């Protein structure tokens, strides 16, 4: 067993606390990764808030980046390689075989439930099993085990704090635009919510050369950053009527929209503001039910679709994103605020309050 530190959730409704844990060596196709940096995504926060007592204790974290320090006999990554850990998939179902791992049949189990809290558990606290395997990694820790499907090798090094958000938020935002919506320079895109995911969608739209990019968010600093990252206009929904403002700014409405807020009324606004035959990509998690305005969707010929992890194949998309970060076309540094792992409580509070857009923990 290897000694490690991890942020462990011990009680329902509480916050994870840094604790001493142990982690077993890698078996089969697993690698043991020494985590150098890990981002906090809003999915960590929202899933932790409703994590059931029967699956405690639990370690979250799904934007880990680090160095392989041990490899199982069938592992694909080798010791010493820099790896970005991303969402897990089974590699065997029809969607995995067809290159859509984000829609893997086993996605919910492999990503959102963690492994079984039993004798097979890889993590232990005071000798007792801890649930791990969140997104196939549980990387709010100094060490994590991962398998080939969610272990992406970077052959050219990238600063860990910039590589970490590529594993989820940036992949999701950029991929939703470039992979799922595939805009041309004639297209006009509106993004609801300018957090790490929405701002990544703005960066994606800029890379695609969209004619106009509108960001909607009630937080002035986030709108200012959206402008810096490529938004051609911004709207504060607390100050103006969003439908009228976006319509005016885009000369009749956008044809593409991304919702990262998961707020039913915002989703309704997005559908109202779209022009005929437009497409809305739903990315935010949380609004488990929202009204479906059939007349509006039908009358305008709208497409509404969900997008997980930017529809991406992480093994090609993440190295491509890393190249864009190196070339300066994807300025992820503008989203990131770093914290020492020892300041986990502060970073977690900053993620929950929205004070920081992308907190990244440095474990070194
Ligand atoms: N689909 C996926 O694969 C995937 C991947 C990563 C994250 N997510 C989800 O995406 C969502 C966004 O993540 P994030 O990290 O960017 O979160 P975030 O909380 O930083 O971003 C949400 C933004 O919405 C803004 N907002 C609040 N009310 C609004 C309103 N009325 N109109 C417009 N904007 C409003 C907030 O100010 C905030 O900036 C979360 O629900 C997260 O769980 C989904
Ligand atoms: Zn699968
Ligand atoms: Zn995430």
The domain that holds 117 is classified in CATH as: 3.90.180.10
Residue 314 lies in a domain: no
Q: What is the pLDDT of residue 346?
A: 98
Residue 320 lies in a domain: no
Evaluate: CB of 167 within 6 angstroms of ligand 1. Answer: no
Q: Check residue 308 and report its DSSP letter.
A: S
Give me the helix-helix angle, 264-273 and 242-249, nearest 10°.
40
Evaluate: CB of 216 within 6 angstroms of ligand 1. Answer: yes
CA dihedral 318, 319, 324, 327 (to 10 degrees): 150
> How far apart (Å, rounded) are the C-alpha atoms in residues 332 and 147?
26
Q: What is the pLDDT of residue 359?
A: 98
Token representation of residue 67: 């160095």
Tell whether 111 and 202 lie within a shared domain.
no
Tell whether 189 and 273 lie within a shared domain.
yes
Which element (helix H / strand E) includes 39? Answer: strand 31-39
Q: What is the pLDDT of residue 351?
A: 98
Q: Are 147 and 104 in contact (CB under 8 A)?
A: no
Evaluate: CB of 162 within 6 angstroms of ligand 1. Answer: no
Q: What is the pLDDT of residue 364?
A: 78
Evaluate: CB of 101 within 6 angstroms of ligand 1. Answer: no
Tell whether 14 and 127 lie within a shared domain.
yes
The closest of 357, 182, 325, 336 to 258, measured between CA atoms, is 182
Question: How many CB atoms within 10 Å of residue 80?
Answer: 9
Q: What is the pLDDT of residue 117?
A: 60
Pairing of β 188-192 and β 143-146: unpaired
Tell whether 10 and 148 lie within a shared domain.
yes
Tell whether 149 and 178 lie within a shared domain.
no
Residue 54 lies in a domain: yes
Tell whether 135 and 199 lie within a shared domain.
no
Q: What is the pLDDT of residue 118?
A: 66
Tell whether 177 and 285 lie within a shared domain.
yes
Tell whether 17 and 64 lie within a shared domain.
yes
Give the distance (Å) from ligand 1 centre to CA of residue 31: 32
Tell whether 115 and 39 lie within a shared domain.
yes
Q: Which atom in ligand 1 lies closest to the alpha carbon of residue 309?
A: 3
Give the distance (Å) from ligand 2 centre to CA of residue 114: 16
Q: Which atom in ligand 1 lies closest to the alpha carbon of residue 196?
A: 16
**CATH code, domain with 221:** 3.40.50.720
The closest of 128, 202, 123, 143 to 169, measured between CA atoms, is 202
Residue 322 lies in a domain: no
The total of structural domains in the chain comes to: 2
Residue 192 lies in a domain: yes
| pLDDT tens series, the chain, 364 aa | 999 999 999 999 999 999 999 999 999 999 999 999 999 999 999 999 999 998 999 999 999 999 999 999 999 999 999 999 999 999 999 999 999 999 999 999 999 988 666 667 799 999 999 999 999 999 999 999 999 999 999 999 999 999 999 999 999 999 999 999 999 999 999 999 999 999 999 999 999 999 999 999 999 999 999 999 999 999 999 999 999 999 999 999 999 999 999 999 999 999 999 999 999 999 999 877 888 999 999 999 999 999 999 999 999 999 999 999 999 999 999 999 999 999 999 999 999 999 999 999 999 7
Tell whether 6 and 148 lie within a shared domain.
yes
Tell whether 202 and 270 lie within a shared domain.
yes
> How far apart (Å, rounded) are the C-alpha atoms in residues 61 and 344?
12
Bond preceding residue 288 cis, omega within 30 of 0: no
Residue 165 lies in a domain: no
**Which residues neighbour ligand 2 (ion) by CB within 5 Å?**
89-90, 93, 96, 104
The closest of 338, 285, 342 to 65, measured between CA atoms, is 338
Residue 160 lies in a domain: no
Tell whether 150 and 180 lie within a shared domain.
no
Measuring from atom 12 of ligand 1, which residue has the nearest CA?
Answer: 260
The closest of 125, 154, 155, 122 to 136, measured between CA atoms, is 122
Which residues are registered as beta bridge partners of 337?
A: 359
Q: Is 244 exposed, middle or buried (0-12, 13-18, 19+ CB in 10 A)?
A: exposed
Evaluate: CB of 43 within 6 angstroms of ligand 1. Answer: yes
> What's the domain range around 184?
173-308
Helices (H), 98-194: 107, 160-163, 169-175
Pocket test for ligand 1, best of 101, 285, 286, 358 (most atoms within 8 A of CB): 285
Q: Are 81 and 67 in contact (CB under 8 A)?
A: yes
Residue 316 lies in a domain: no
3-state secondary structure of 9: strand
């Amino acid at each position: 067993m290897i000694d490690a530190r991890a942020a462990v959730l011990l009680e329902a409704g509480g916050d994870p606390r840094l604790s001493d844990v142990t982690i077993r060596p890698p078996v089969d196709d697993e690698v043991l990764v020494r985590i150098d940096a890990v981002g906090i995504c809003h999915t960590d926060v929202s899933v932790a808030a409703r994590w059931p007592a029967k699956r405690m204790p639990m370690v979250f974290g799904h934007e880990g980046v680090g160095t392989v320090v041990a490899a199982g006999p069938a592992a694909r990554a080798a010791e010493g390689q820099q790896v970005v850990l991303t969402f897990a998939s089974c590699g065997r179902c029809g969607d995995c075989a067809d290159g859509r791992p984000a829609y893997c049949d086993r996605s919910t189990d492999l990503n959102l439930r963690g492994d079984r809290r039993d004798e097979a558990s890889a993590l232990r606290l005071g000798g007792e099993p801890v649930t791990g395997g969140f997104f196939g990694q549980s990387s709010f820790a100094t060490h994590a085990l991962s398998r080939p499907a969610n272990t992406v090798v970077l052959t050219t090094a990238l600063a860990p704090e910039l590589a970490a958000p590529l594993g989820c938020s940036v992949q999701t935002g950029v991929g939703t635009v470039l992979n799922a919506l595939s805009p041309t320079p004639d297209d006009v895109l509106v993004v609801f919510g300018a957090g790490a995911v929405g701002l990544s969608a703005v960066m994606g739209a800029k890379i695609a050369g969209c004619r106009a990019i509108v960001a909607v968010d009630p937080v002035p600093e986030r709108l200012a950053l959206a402008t810096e990252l490529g938004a051609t206009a911004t709207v504060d929904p607390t100050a103006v009527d969003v439908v009228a403002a976006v319509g005016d700014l885009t000369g009749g409405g956008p044809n593409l929209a991304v919702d990262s807020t998961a707020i039913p009324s915002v989703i309704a606004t997005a559908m109202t503001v779209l022009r005929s035959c437009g497409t809305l990509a739903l990315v935010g998690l949380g609004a488990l039910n929202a009204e479906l305005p059939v007349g509006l969707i039908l009358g305008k010929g709208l497409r509404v679709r969900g997008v997980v992890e930017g529809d991406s194949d992480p093994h090609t998309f993440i190295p491509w994103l890393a190249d864009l970060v190196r070339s300066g076309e994807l300025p992820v540094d503008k989203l990131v605020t770093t914290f020492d792992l020892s300041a986990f409580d502060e970073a977690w509070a900053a993620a929950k309050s929205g004070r920081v857009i992308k907190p990244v923990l440095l474990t070194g």
